[in-house]
A = this chain, B = another copy of it.
């Protein structure tokens, strides 16, 4: 898994400054390496340490980290968009625990199964996600 040093390098390597607010945002994701976090969660933790950091800055920073592949977006239906520290660079999908919010990578991708069955439709993207309960949450009542 990627570490803090590499994130700083990736930022600078792409020509971005390594600022205080950006470090705070990065730290939040490393503090919860498997959780799915809404921007407002990230903002709350950041402001816990530095109350004057603006929402706008956190939104922009998270978007930047997404562009750099440091965090991944997770598409829950209703709620606000969530993110987690990227679990890998290869293509993968996710198992999402509906109780504790843990997000685990799933290597299997169903795309090959379907590519022949959609004559005439040219696929450029897809989404596949599984929702349920992780081992730990099944055992705790």
Q: With the chains together, A132 CA to B115 CA distance in Å?
A: 12
Copies per complex? 2
A134 close to chain B: CB less than 8 A: yes
A95 near B118 with CB under 8 A, answer yes
A123 contact set on B, CB distance < 8 A: 95, 130-132
Closest to A138 in B: B122
A120 near B134 with CB under 8 A, answer yes
Scan residues 85-113 of chain A and give those whose CB is less than 8 A from a CB of chain B: 95, 97-98, 104, 106, 108, 110, 113
Which A positions have Cβ atoms within 8 angstroms of B? 73, 75, 77-78, 81, 95, 97-98, 104, 106, 108, 110, 113-114, 117-118, 120-135, 138
